[in-house]
Structure formats: structure tokens, C-alpha cells
Amino acid sequence: MTRKLLLHLTGERLCCWLWERGYLAAGPCFGHTPDGLAQFAGWLEGRGDTPALMLADLVEEDFQRQLLPHVAGRAGMTMRDRRLTQTWRDTAFRSAHQQGREDEGRRDDIVLFSALTNPAMLTPWLDILESQRIPLAALYTPALLSGALLPDEARREPHLLLVTQHASGIRQTYLQHGKVRFSRLAQAAAGAEQEAERTRQFLVGAHLLKRDLPLQVLALLPLARLASPPATANIAPLLDWRVMPLEEAAARQRLAASDDPDQLFLGLAARTAPTSHYPLGPRQRYYGLWRARRSLYASSAVLAACCLLWTGANIVGLSLARSHTQELHQETHGFSTAYKSSMSSMPPAVDKTANMRAAVQIAQMVARQGPWPQAVMSILSEALERSPQIRLTQLDWRANAPGAVPVTASTAFPGAAPTPALVTPQSSMLIGIPKAPQQQMRLQAEVLVEQDDYRSVLLSMNRFAQELARTPGMVVEIEQLPFDIRPNVKLSGKAGSPAGLGERSKFTLNLRWTP
């Protein structure tokens, strides 16, 4: 939020400040009277789009530090809310701030309970803010903001009293190791030294500080008052008084230099925007609506930027596509011109389109019905895979047209004399026109069986032939058996010889397949 409305509430009046780009601008102040409330309502008109932060610097503020059992989650929140309700029943401006855990024992939670005990000081102003629909973001107290102003060495002090002099009085905040223990606002008529000594005596009586232990006091003062440091030697000899310029504290928080502690706390609340010290409940609903509206505006801006980028990308793509289209048109025109010039030099052809169509159809027919050996080879491979005892030794394949002399033993292998029928002009059936030709294959194979097992040789050959004959359109002829089993032929040889069956285990098959 770059622009904020800061409301500084004291026991005497409400002052308005405007925070914009890191600087505070003073506004009007209104008293706790009906006229002041009416003037404040009139001044707020037209400022519903500026979020507001309220800093309540009141005397009626109470602090209690207690130890609670360590309970996490919703149960712990319920326990702390119940303790707040039991302690302060008459105010809704109460909160619990967890400040760590004990180092020993059961490690209870250290919780600081605080409350604004006089809600009547705030309610009229909050009602006007709600009636004017001002987005109230948070309600702060200077006591809980004080810890952010401490230097690093002061945060390590076990007992430290921070003294600041405001328009409403002298505020003294007691801190232990940088954690707020309690805070009190005294009247400005009393001296800071006397009030610090009273606070030390209270700490001794409450057994928070040993009687002879000096109390570290850190005073935030303007540079104009540093020339005359407080003379506390006679008033409070046990006060270790140190002074830090307001300008140094403002520079540490990256705020504009000022000699007013109220402006320092207002600037700190506006720049850091911590979580609200006291809950506002339904009074924050306009702030929730303001945040939702800002989120919608931001989402719309992001969506509009994405749309602009997408539109720009489309425009660039359109320009590139147009340039590529022009290049393609130029190339097409060049190719068309070259084609026309080349065709103009060629003689006219009759039925050129019909001839090309016929040529394409013939090429497709040859590719589909041509006598390619892949099909019959796959059939043979499958039969060999199912007959592992058969080993192929020699193979010849050819396609036969109707009327061609079939393949015989003399013409199947190289070295045989060519037949006159094979040198005659080839038929168109040999290339699959008009139908697929018959394919013929002659193969020689041998049977791998044990020595002198003639029965296994015959059974293996027959099974292999039957495997081939199962193919539709396949005709299998046994041209040569592994051995001659005719009854009128004399058997010769010696059973159990080392050579075994030898050449007698080979056989020859003729295959004719019509696709």
C-alpha cells in the first residue's frame, strides 16, 4: 500500500496523518466531542479508497504475562481466548502474543496478554470509520511497536526500560531480552527521571528485578535535548541512563528524520504494516472488500498484459506469415512459368492423362499381384520353425505363367541345359497381370536324426511335407526320398556304421503355390 491514512488516537484528541511514498503529511485533529466526531465524519467523505491504520496511545492499557501449557493448533487458540475472556470481560480489544517457551521444566508457553480496557475511547471513532466505509486495516499500540526500535545490543539486555516522551505523556516500556513485558503511560507533567525510578521500584516490589541491581534505561530523545543529559545521580542512582537520538532510530528503520516520537511510531506502523495488535472483527470487512477489489484490479491488469502480449505475438506471426506467403506465391509463379515453358516446347500428346492413369493402375497391380517370393518364403520359414529336425540345403524359386514348362530336376539347379520353352517371350502373367501367377519352388533338405533311425527320417519328412500342404493353394510333391524303399530294390550298406545314414537322409520336394 503506497497511500495510507494514519489515525493517532490519544486521550485528548484524534489526529490524522497521510502516508504516501515514505513521507508523512500532517492532517487535522479532532477532539472527543460530538462536534469533533461530526467534523471527522465530514473529513472522511471521499476517502473510501484509502486504507486506514489506527495507533491508540491510551493510558487505559493493561498487560499481563502468564505461563500456559504448550498446546498447539486450535486447542491452544481456544485456551488463550478463554483466558482473555476471563481476564477482561468488558472489552473486545484484547489479544494474546506468544513470546516463546521456558527453557526448563515442562517448557510452558510464555504469553503476553494485553487489552485496551476502556473501549468507549475507540468505539465512536470506529463507528464513524465503518459508517463512511473506510477500509480499516489494523489497530496498533506504541507499546508493542517499541521492540522494533531497539538496537541489537539493547535486545540482549535482560532488563531494559524504554522511555519515550509523546504528546500524551511519558511512555515507559519494560522489556526482557527484547520482549515486551508491560508498558505504562504517565502524565507529561511528571519528569522522566522520577517516572523511571517509580517503575524500578515497582519492578523490585513485583520481584522482577533485584533490589540492588541497576536498571538499564534507554531514552529516545531529539538531538536538541542530547546536550543536557538527565541528572539522575541524585534522583535514581540505580538507573543506568542511556540516550539514543530519534534521528538515529528513524534512520535504522529507513524513515524520514523527525524530532517527534509520535511521527516515528506512525511511520514505523505505516512502513512495516505488521499484523493488527488487537482484533477488529467485523469492523475489518471493508478492508477485506478493498483487498479483494485490489486483487481483482491486479488480476485484470495481469490478464490485460497477457492479452496484449498474445495480440502482439499474433500480429508478429501474421506479418511473418504474410511475408512467407508472398515468398511462396513468387516460388509458385516461377515454377508455373518454368512448367509452361517446358510444356510448350513438347509436342502434343493424345490421351496423355488416360495413359498416365493406366500406367499408375498397372504399377499398383504389379506391386499388389507381382510374383514376389516374400510370401512363399514366409510359409516355408514357418514350416521349418515347426520342424526343427529338418535342415534346408538347397532352394530354387520361380514364377510360372500358364503354358510354361514346369520346373524339373534337370532345370532347377545351375548347370542344367536350358529348355526351349524358357527362352520364348515372357507372358504378362509373370508380373501379375491380370492375376497373380503360380509360384514354384524346389527344395532339398536333410533330416537330422540319430544314427540308423530310418523310421524317424521318413516320419520327419512326411510331417514337414504335411506342414507345407496345409497352406491353401499349396501342392507338395515328393520328388526324391531319403532312401529307396521300393520292394524290388536291394538294400545295401552296413547298419551301425560311423557314417550313419549319410546321403540317404536327404530328400527333394517340389512345391506349387497358387495365391
Spell out where 117-209 has E strands: 136-140, 160-166, 169-176, 179-186
Give the pLDDT of residue 119. 92
- pLDDT for residue 219 is more than 50: yes
Count Cβ atoms within 10 A of the Cβ of residue 21 and give its class: 0-12 exposed, 13-18 middle, 19 or more buried: exposed
Q: Using omega within 30 degrees of 0 as the cis cutoff, is the peptide bond preceding 434 cis? A: yes
Axis-axis angle for helices 34-43, 123-131 (nearest 10): 30
What 3-state DSSP class applies to 424?
coil
Element (H, E) at 507: strand 506-513
- Among 205-209, 239-243, 274-278, top mean pLDDT goes to 274-278
The whole-angstrom separation of Cα 341 and Cα 49 is 77
- Among 126-135, 413-422, 452-461, top mean pLDDT goes to 126-135
Cell of 458: 521318413
Mean pLDDT of the chain: 83
> Strands across the sheet with 239-245, in order?
179-186, 169-176, 160-166, 215-221, 239-245
The whole-angstrom separation of Cα 42 and Cα 307 is 42
Q: What is the 3-state secondary structure (H, E, C) of 54-121?
A: EEECCCCEEEEEEEECCCCHHHHHHHHHHHHHHHCCCCCCEEEEEEEECCCCCCCEEEEEEEECCHHH
Alpha carbon of 296 to those of 50, 299, 317: distances in Å?
A: 16, 5, 31
The whole-angstrom separation of Cα 475 and Cα 473 is 7
**Phi, psi dihedral angles at 164 (to 5 degrees):** -135, 140
- pLDDT for residue 233 is more than 60: no
The whole-angstrom separation of Cα 217 and Cα 316 is 69
What's the pLDDT tens digit per position in 149-166? 888 888 888 899 999 888
Contacts of 47 (CB under 8 A, 6+ apart): 5, 132, 134
- Mean of the pLDDT values across residues 92-121? 90
Give the pLDDT of residue 500. 46
Only one residue has cell 493448533, namely 73
Give the pLDDT of residue 421. 47
- Mean of the pLDDT values across residues 466-485? 84
Alpha carbon of 454 to those of 20, 252, 395, 446, 458: distances in Å?
A: 112, 110, 24, 13, 7
Helices (H), 209-284: 246-252, 261-272
The whole-angstrom separation of Cα 171 and Cα 56 is 13
Comparing 146 with 105, the larger pLDDT belongs to 146
- pLDDT for residue 199 is more than 50: yes
Give the pLDDT of residue 486. 66
Residue 142's pLDDT band (cuts 50, 70, 90)? very high
The residue among 477, 497, 509 whose CA lies nearest residue 390 is 509
Single pTM value for the model = 0.61
Residue 278's pLDDT band (cuts 50, 70, 90)? very high
Cell of 179: 520482549
Q: Residue type for 332, please?
A: T
- Mean of the pLDDT values across residues 186-212? 81
Alpha carbon of 167 to those of 10, 135, 224, 231, 261: distances in Å?
A: 8, 27, 17, 23, 9
Give the pLDDT of residue 412. 47
Contacts of 287 (CB under 8 A, 6+ apart): 51, 135, 136, 137
Helix-then-strand count for the chain, H and E: 12, 17
The whole-angstrom separation of Cα 513 and Cα 161 is 113
What's the pLDDT tens digit per position in 315-356? 999 999 999 999 999 999 999 999 888 888 777 655 567 777
Helices (H), 206-284: 246-252, 261-272
Residue 189's pLDDT band (cuts 50, 70, 90)? low
- pLDDT for residue 293 is more than 70: yes
Q: Residue type for 279, please?
A: P
- Among 39-43, 100-104, 223-227, 370-374, top mean pLDDT goes to 39-43
Out of 64-68, 438-442, 451-455, 470-474, least confident range: 451-455
Query: Strand 506-513 vs strand 474-480: parallel, antiparallel, or unpaired?
Result: antiparallel
Contacts of 48 (CB under 8 A, 6+ apart): 132, 133, 134, 135, 286
Alpha carbon of 133 to those of 13, 46, 473: distances in Å?
A: 21, 10, 96
Q: Are 373 and 397 in contact, with CB atoms under 8 Å apart? A: yes
Residue 401's pLDDT band (cuts 50, 70, 90)? low
Of how many residues is the chain composed?
515
Give the pLDDT of residue 115. 94
Instruction: Give strand pairing partners of 68.
Output: 109
The whole-angstrom separation of Cα 436 and Cα 58 is 110
Out of 9-18, 170-179, 240-249, 498-507, least confident range: 498-507
